[in-house]
Amino acid sequence: MAIQVGSLAPDFAGDAVIGSDFKNIKLGDYKGKWVVLFFYPLDFTFVCPTEIVAFNDHLEDFKKLNTEVIACSVDSKFSHLAWNNMGLDKGGLGGVKFPLLADITKNIARDYGVLLEQGGVALRGLFLIDPNGVLQHSTINALNVGRSVKETLRVIKAFQWSATHGDVCPANWEEGKEAIKPTAASTGAYLAKTHK
């Protein structure tokens, strides 16, 4: 059965590379924080390092939003470590600071509904989990197109705004822009203002 937004995110536990160290992590370690869990197909590939490095470039932006980032693939922790230690100019990660979770059994990818069983790798799934462990957002890309870190940050800010203010966030909402009350009158006023 596919994991659904609004339900508890599947628990996970496994070995991860954090910097140059191995650490066992689990979803419960992040209770009280937002979590971006994203899957990528394999280490030492082509689109994957561009995504992972882009998330690392914005790590402080995520931390300001009480959000932790975790990347996950079916590779071993040893493969993760070797790739993280490889320089950017060689196609490596150059020392990203967030956990690279090893899913050697493929159970985590399977639980999140992103495992390509025949290929043995995960699709580019991204899951936003709230501080209570509830899945609030998910996207899944085919293997050949990378994801937008800026869009991930926008979505986190929208969910946090909604949770704090009780508003709903219209299409393309960005921080500092108008949100709306969950009423037909508020939506009508918003559309009249934005679509003249």
Distance of CA 82 to the CA centre of its chain: 23
pLDDT score at 196: 79
Assess contact for 72 and 101: CB atoms under 8 A: yes
Using alpha carbons only, how large is the chain's radius of gyration in Å?
18
**Which residues belong to the active site?**
48
Instruction: Sketch out the chain's domains with CATH numbers.
Output: 13-147 (3.40.30.10)
Could you give the CA distance from residue 147 to residue 26 in angstroms, rounded to a whole number? 24
Instruction: Answer whether residue 2 shows pLDDT above 80.
Output: no
d(CA 42, CA 68): 21
Residue 50 backbone phi and psi in degrees, to 5 = -65, -35
Please enumerate in sequence order all residues whose Cβ is within 8 A of that of 124, keeping only pairs 6 or more positions apart, or say none: 38, 39, 40, 41, 47, 51, 114, 140, 141, 142, 143, 145, 146, 147
Write out pLDDT tens, residues 64-95: 999 999 999 999 999 999 999 999 999 999 99
- How many of the other CB atoms lie within 10 Å of CB of 38? 24
pLDDT at 1 over 60: no
Dihedral of alpha carbons 73, 158, 188, 6, sign: positive
Smallest Cα–Cα separation from 42: which of 81, 17, 73, 85? Answer: 73
**Calculated CA dihedral for residues 161, 166, 171, 175, nearest 10 degrees:** -20
This prediction's pTM: 0.95
- Predicted local confidence at residue 169, as pLDDT: 96
